[in-house]
Amino acid sequence: MKGLIPTLEERLERLALPLALRLPDNQWLGPPDAPVRLAFREWRSLATLAAAQIGSIGEDYVEGRLDISGTMRDLMAVAASLLPGNPAASNTAWWTQMLRRAKSLASHSRERDAVQIQFHYDVSDDFYALWLDPRRVYSCAYFRAPDMSIAQAQEAKLDHICRKLMLKPGERFLDIGAGWGGLLLWAAEHYGVDATGITLSKNQHAHVQRLIGEKGLSGRVRMELRDYRDMELPADGGFDKISSVGMFEHVGQANMPAYFGQIRRLLKPGGLVLNHGITAGGLDNDQLGAGMGDFIEKYIFPGGELLHVSHVLREMSRSGLEMVDTENLRPHYARTLWAWSDALEAQLPEAHAVLAATGDPVRAERVLRAYRLYLSGSAMSFERGWISLHQMLATRPDDDMTTGPMPGAQACYPFNRSYMYP
């Protein structure tokens, strides 16, 4: 392993990185006062660094095999420089595609999805509350104006979605994967809809149930602990409008036909659905390379899969939904994630104390380290276009040619964007 030292020294010098390495024998490579410093406890971690396996370096940090000093923004700039190529590069070999599909099928039963969702979202409500906005909106914000705060941008996003869906008082609205209730409650309070949300997170379900009662919305808003596949049609027909925000990343490629098919079944003819979610930067990859996707799978989102927007639109169309508007919000998510990362970095002692309150201080440190890398690494990935975020608005066409604002529209959508951007 010590034979790697000359190679690492040469690489640091060639790339001129603001990085210093402290080896297990306390020898330094690079200037000890560099803005980013990695302190290795085990020699084998150096091989991981030499191979530019960024995800494995992250795992070594989470597991305590190395320590990191420096800001997350500086660290991610170094990480991007160490990569040998684009981590979104696709592997299109037929056996790779076959293995991905088999893995996707095995990873997304009802039981496994419930466990995987709870692994992430039930970490600690108090932990998420430290770095999210007051509404705990855990998805890409919409910076309608450049000087917006994260809280203002999240409210702008909620309203942007409601405008796209053309929500009206009395309409029946379903939010699939409703989180901590931000969109569900915004739609009910500001647009007067009859709103139903579903989630697999026990913590989120309890939180939203409490908010519904506090806001006096019990007769018009409900939150159910339910899998989307088990959602039943209301007794007197389907939903007028449906949203799915930050949820379909958990569905899995193999289940996309069932997912969009279920949405079509639940949506009234002529109704609108907005699917908002993370998409792949490459045409055929389902996660980032260089070990980054494996890190996310292990520590953050087990079972998560990404699809290119073209693949998503194909699956949507096959299910009988007509796409009428698609918007790329990739830079907005980079800014959102940096806001979350900065908020967490400003409260590291508080975050550790909140996580340790669950009774396991060792796990608390691991979770905190993982989220520090996850938030900043995701921000970097959106900035560089390795992953993206799309809002896809679609209709379930009505066979009645007189439905809608013009002959043949078959939906309430006006087939122009003027109503979205007043």
Residue 96 lies in a domain: no
- Whether 100 is covered by a domain: the verdict is no
The pLDDT of residue 3 is 57
Question: Would the pLDDT of 365 be above 80?
Answer: yes
Q: Which residues pair with 239 in a beta bridge?
A: 267
Q: Do 49 and 119 fall within a single domain?
A: no
Contact 389, 278 (CB under 8 A): yes
Regarding whether 186 and 149 lie in a shared domain, the answer is yes
Check residue 289 and give its pLDDT: 63
Q: For 96-143, how does the pLDDT look when each residue is reduced to its tens digit (9 = 90+)?
A: 444 445 444 455 565 655 555 554 556 788 999 999 999 999 999 999
pLDDT band at 8 (very low <50, low <70, confident <90, very high): low
Angle of the 256-266 helix axis to the 309-318 helix axis, nearest 10: 50
The Cα-based distances of 71 to 35, 74, 254, 337 in angstroms read 8, 5, 39, 15
Amino acid in position 121: Y
Domain membership flag for residue 92? no
Q: Tally the domains of the chain.
A: 2
| 10 and 132 belong to one structural domain | no
Lowest mean pLDDT among 153-162, 214-223, 290-299, 333-342: 290-299
Q: Reduced to 3 DSSP states, what percent helix, strand and coil does the chain have, rounded to the nearest 5? A: 45, 15, 35
Residues in the chain, how many? 422
Mean pLDDT to the nearest integer, 313-328: 97
Does position 170 have pLDDT exceeding 50, yes or no?
yes
Q: Which residue(s) pair with 265 in the sheet?
A: none
Q: 402: Cβ–Cβ under 8 A, 6 or more apart, which residues?
A: none
Residue given tokens 């030292």 in the structure block: 5
Q: Quick one: pLDDT band at residue 318, thresholds 50, 70, 90? A: very high
On whether both 156 and 62 belong to a single domain, the answer is no
> Is residue 98 in a domain?
no
Residues 142 and 221 in one domain: yes
Print the domain residue range for 52. Answer: 4-82
Higher pLDDT, 3 or 375: 375
Q: Are residues 121 and 74 in the same domain?
A: no
Dist. CA 290–CA 267, nearest whole Å: 40
- Over 80: is that where the pLDDT of 266 sits? yes
Q: What integer pLDDT is reported at residue 174 of this predicted model?
A: 98
Domain for residue 416, yes or no? Answer: no
Predicted pLDDT of residue 63: 92
What letter would DSSP give residue 234? P
Helix or strand run (H / E) with residue 275: strand 267-280
pLDDT tens for 24-80 read 999 888 887 899 999 999 988 888 887 778 888 999 999 999 999 999 999 999 888
Judge whether 288 lies within some domain: yes
Task: Give the pLDDT confidence score for residue 312 in this predicted structure.
Answer: 96
Per-residue confidence (pLDDT) for residue 99, from 0 to 100 = 43
- The pLDDT of residue 326 is 98
In 10 A of CB 109, how many CB atoms? Answer: 13
Residue 214 has a pLDDT of 97
CA distances, 235 to each of 17, 231, 238, 239, 291 (Å): 63, 12, 8, 11, 48
For residue 95, the model assigns a pLDDT of: 38
Residue 380: partners with Cβ closer than 8 Å, 6 or more residues away: 76, 77, 79, 80, 334
User: By mean pLDDT, which of 1-5, 266-270, 276-280, 361-365 is the weakest?
Assistant: 1-5
Same domain, 77 and 126: no
3-state secondary structure of 198: strand
pLDDT for 338 beyond 50:
yes
Instruction: Tell me the average pLDDT across 208-220.
Output: 96
Residue 176 within a domain: yes
pTM, entire model: 0.90
**How far is Cα 166 from Cα 342, in angstroms, rounded to an integer?**
34
The confidence score (pLDDT) of residue 234 equals: 84
Same domain, 340 and 384: yes
Q: What is the pLDDT of residues 380-397, one digit of tens each?
A: 999 999 999 999 999 999
- Shared-domain flag, residues 260 and 149: yes
User: For the CA atoms of 261, 266, 269, 274, what is the dihedral angle to 10 degrees?
Assistant: -80
Please tell me the distance from the alpha carbon of residue 171 to that of residue 155, in angstroms, as a whole number: 21
Looking at the predicted structure, is the pLDDT value of residue 162 above 60? yes
157 in a structural domain: yes
Say how far apart CA 182 and CA 221 lie, in whole Å: 12
CATH of the domain at 175: 3.40.50.150
Ranges 292-296, 363-367, 413-417: which has the least confidence: 292-296
Between 150-164 and 182-191, two packed helices, what is the crossing angle to 10 degrees? 60
Q: Is the pLDDT of residue 262 over 90?
A: yes
194-199 and 172-176: which strand pairing? parallel
Domain shared by 285 and 325, yes or no:
yes
Query: Edge-to-edge, what's the strand order for the sheet holding 19-22?
Result: 28-29, 19-22, 36-40, 66-69
Question: Are residues 214 and 302 located together in one domain of the fold?
Answer: yes
CB atoms within 10 A of CB 138: 19
Q: Are residues 236 and 364 in the same domain?
A: yes
